[in-house]
């Protein structure tokens, strides 16, 4: 845990806060859940004192909220990088779907953050805009690739491209949810199969084209 990103004052572009505390908070949230996370947990995780946490963030709410937003931003760099490697829309869709599955490790962690954020939004209407922006960003990945693939003729969607994209996103959410929760009948492995078969059906692409593990 003592990664101690010390010099990471990186880019003074409006970020006066210590990233290491956010990362620590994110780790704590991932382990215990937002509501159960105490300032002391964050401090311990960051290898510092509770006083320091309060030096950078006025209130507990501030840290937790910042950490949740931060954690939800993290995956995008990786996703962009992976999606940028290839410009074949079929491959890009396959990558996107693969990234949507809560395999143990970072991807499961990201799902946990989603769930925590959703649970918080539910009783904090002021956070709805945050949820919306994160969600629309994720959704646009699907919309873009489906539109692009349809335009190029790689996909022959059974419904308007945007509607198919919405269906894909909803299916990912519904399946992923059960998989993160650890339900026996919906493992990441099974999610992958259901998801790929569905995408293949909806976009009229052979299953094998998406099955590029």
Partner DNA sequence: ACCCTGACTGACGGGTCAGTCAAGTTCTCG
Partner DNA sequence: CGAGAACTTGACTGACCCGTCAGTCAGGGT
Q: Does 182 bind its own copies (CB under 8 A)?
A: yes
Q: Kindly indicate which of the ranges 4-12, 57-65, 115-123, 204-212 contains the residues binding its own copies, using the contact rule CB under 8 A.
A: 115-123
**Which residues within the stretch 7-66 sit at the binding site for DNA (CB under 7 A)?**
12, 15-18, 38-40, 48-52, 54-56, 58-61
Q: Does 128 bind its own copies (CB under 8 A)?
A: yes
* List of residues 6+ apart from 145 with CB closer than 8 A: 83, 89, 92, 93, 96
Tokens of 94: 């396959």
Which one among 25, 100, 116, 165 touches its own copies, defined by CB under 8 A? 116
From CA 18, how far away is CA 53, in angstroms rounded? 9
Query: Residue 34 gets which letter from DSSP?
Result: T
Which one among 1, 3, 19, 36 touches its own copies, defined by CB under 8 A? 36
Q: Does 130 bind its own copies (CB under 8 A)?
A: no
Q: What is the DSSP string of 59-128?
A: SHHHHHHHHHHHHHHTHHHHHHHHHHT---HHHHHHHHHHHTS--TTHHHHHHHHHHHHHHHHHT-GGGH
Q: Which residue lies nearer to DNA by CB, 55 or 76?
A: 55
Q: Least CB distance from residue 86 to DNA, whole Å? A: 42
Query: Residue 207 gets which letter from DSSP?
Result: H
Which residue ranges make up the site for its own copies (CB under 8 A)?
Answer: 32-33, 35-36, 112, 115-116, 118-119, 121-123, 125, 128, 131-132, 135-136, 158-159, 163, 166-167, 169-175, 177-178, 180-185, 194, 197-198, 201
């Amino acid at each position: 845990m003592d990664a101690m990103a010390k010099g990471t004052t990186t880019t003074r572009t409006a970020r006066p806060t210590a990233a290491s505390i956010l990362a620590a908070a994110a780790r704590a949230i991932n382990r215990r859940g937002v509501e159960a996370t105490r300032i002391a947990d964050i401090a311990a995780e960051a290898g510092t004192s509770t006083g320091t946490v309060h030096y950078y963030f006025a209130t507990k709410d501030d840290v937790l909220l910042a950490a949740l937003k931060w954690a939800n931003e993290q995956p995008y760099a990786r996703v962009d990088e992976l999606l940028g490697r290839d410009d074949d829309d079929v491959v890009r869709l396959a990558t996107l779907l693969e990234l949507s599955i809560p395999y143990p490790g970072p991807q499961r962690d990201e799902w946990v953050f989603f769930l925590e954020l959703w649970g918080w939004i539910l009783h904090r209407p002021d956070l709805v805009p945050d949820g919306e922006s994160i969600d629309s960003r994720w959704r646009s990945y699907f919309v873009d690739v489906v539109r692009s693939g349809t335009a190029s003729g790689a996909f022959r969607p059974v419904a308007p491209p945007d509607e198919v994209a919405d269906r894909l996103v909803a299916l990912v959410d519904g399946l992923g949810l059960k998989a993160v929760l650890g339900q026996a009948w919906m493992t990441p492995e099974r999610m992958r199969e259901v998801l790929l078969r569905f995408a293949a059906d909806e976009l009229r692409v052979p299953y094998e084209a998406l099955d590029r593990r």
